[in-house]
Amino acid sequence: MGFLDLFGKDKVTGTKILVCAIGSRFDDLVRQDAEIYRYFYPATTTAKFSDVQELVDSLSRQYDIVHIFCDVSAAGCLNESPTTGTEIIAKCCDCNVKLLWFASDNPGEGYMKGFNARGKPINLVMTLDRKGEKFSGFLEKLLGKTSQGLAMPVAWNQLCPQIPGTEHLDAPDSIFFAGRGGVRLR
């Protein structure tokens, strides 16, 4: 529970979402995931950026959730740019993004090297393997819970209990960091 939770001030009504990609190779996935978001959150926008700077510039539009498709290098940089995930996380925090979700398949090595969210007030999901259609089913179930006011860590744990040795066959392989666990996105 965060400090703002004590006073009920970390609740968002009319959640604004950006589902986007850097480059065009993720067009079908952007459309697919945006449809799921739009069902639960009507204020969903899609975008295709030619480079990382365009993404950074768009963050000033005050999105609550940024769901992005891009490649992450072994060093933790986005789309062969010098920009690391840590820098994007910091920019999202500056713009009050509550959830940053890297939704394309990327190796864990890049996330571990270049995505430091420790101490940052943001929920962060880093996808390792979407596992095909399992991602869509999981996203739909998760958003069904969060759009009703359930905090993301609670919803996530209901779908994927964090019990050592437990496999979650119906969920994507992801790393979830709850740096803003009490936020409610309606």
Q: What is the pLDDT of residue 4?
A: 44
Domain covering 12-159+169-185: architecture: 3-Layer(aba) Sandwich (3.40)
pLDDT interval class at 53 (50, 70, 90) = very high
Q: For the chain, give the percent of residues with pLDDT over 90.
A: 88
pLDDT in tens, 62-95: 999 999 999 999 999 999 899 999 999 999 999 9
Q: In this predicted structure, which of 10-14, 103-107, 114-118 has the lowest mean pLDDT?
A: 10-14
Order of strands, edge to edge, in the sheet holding 65-69? Answer: 44-49, 17-22, 65-69, 99-102, 123-129, 173-178
Chain mean pLDDT for the chain: 93
- Residue 110 CA to residue 93 CA, distance in Å, equals 20
Other C-beta atoms closer than 10 Å to the C-beta of 39 total 13
Q: What is the pLDDT of residue 8?
A: 53
Q: In this predicted structure, which of 12-16, 46-50, 145-149, 165-169 has the lowest mean pLDDT?
A: 165-169
Q: Are 57 and 44 in contact (CB under 8 A)?
A: no
pLDDT interval class at 3 (50, 70, 90) = very low
Positive or negative CA dihedral for 54, 63, 153, 33? negative
* Mean pLDDT across 111-137: 97
* Mean pLDDT across 38-49: 98
Residue boundaries of the structural domains of the chain: 12-159+169-185
Q: For the chain, give the percent of residues with pLDDT over 70.
A: 95
The end-to-end CA distance of the chain, in Å, is 18
Q: What is the pLDDT of residue 43?
A: 98
